Amino acid sequence: MKHIFLALICLLCSAGLSAQIFSAGVVAGGNFSQIDGDLVAGYNKLGLNAGVFSDIKFNEKISGQIEILYSQKGSASVLFNSDQYVNDFKYIVDYIEIPLTVNYHESKWLFSAGFSINRLIKSAYFTQGIEDINYFTADPPADIDLNMMAGVTYMFSPRMGAQLRMAYSATPIRSSVDSRYRNNNQYHNVVSLRLVYLFKAQNDLGEDL
Q: What pLDDT is attached to residue 89? A: 84
> Domain holding 98: CATH number?
2.40.160.20
Note the pLDDT tens digit of each residue in 121-148. Answer: 999 998 877 888 888 888 889 999 999 9
Query: C-alpha dihedral over 136, 138, 143, 148, to 10 degrees?
Result: -90
- Let me know if residue 161 belongs to a domain: yes
Q: Supply the pLDDT for residue 206.
A: 53
| Helix, strand, coil distribution of the chain in percent, nearest 5 | 10, 60, 35
Across 77-184, the runs of DSSP E, i.e. the strands, are 89-106, 109-127, 130-131, 144-155, 160-169, 174-175
Judge whether residue 152 has pLDDT over 80. Answer: yes
**What pLDDT score was predicted for residue 104?**
96
In this prediction, residue 40 carries a pLDDT of 80
Of the chain, the percentage scoring pLDDT greater than 90 comes to: 53
Give the whole-angstrom CA distance, residue 155 versus residue 121: 32
DSSP letter string over 107-130?
TTEEEEEEEEEEEEEEEEEEETTE
Asked whether residue 182 is assigned to any structural domain, the reply reads: yes
pLDDT score of 178 = 62
Residue 209 within a domain: no
- CB half-sphere exposure, 140, CA atoms < 13 A: 10
Residue 118: which of 40, 184, 196, 47 has the closest Cα? 47
- Whether residue 11 is contained in a domain is answered as yes
Give me the number of domains the chain comprises.
Answer: 1
Over range 92-119, report the average pLDDT: 95
From the number of C-beta atoms within 10 Å of its C-beta (0-12, 13-18, 19+), residue 24 rates as middle
Domain range for 118: 2-203
Whole-model pTM: value is: 0.82
Mean predicted lDDT score pLDDT of the chain: 83
Q: Is residue 208 part of a domain?
A: no
Please state, in angstroms and rounded to a whole number, the distance separating the CA atoms of residues 35 and 190: 8
Contact 92, 74 (CB under 8 A): yes
pLDDT at position 86 over 70? no
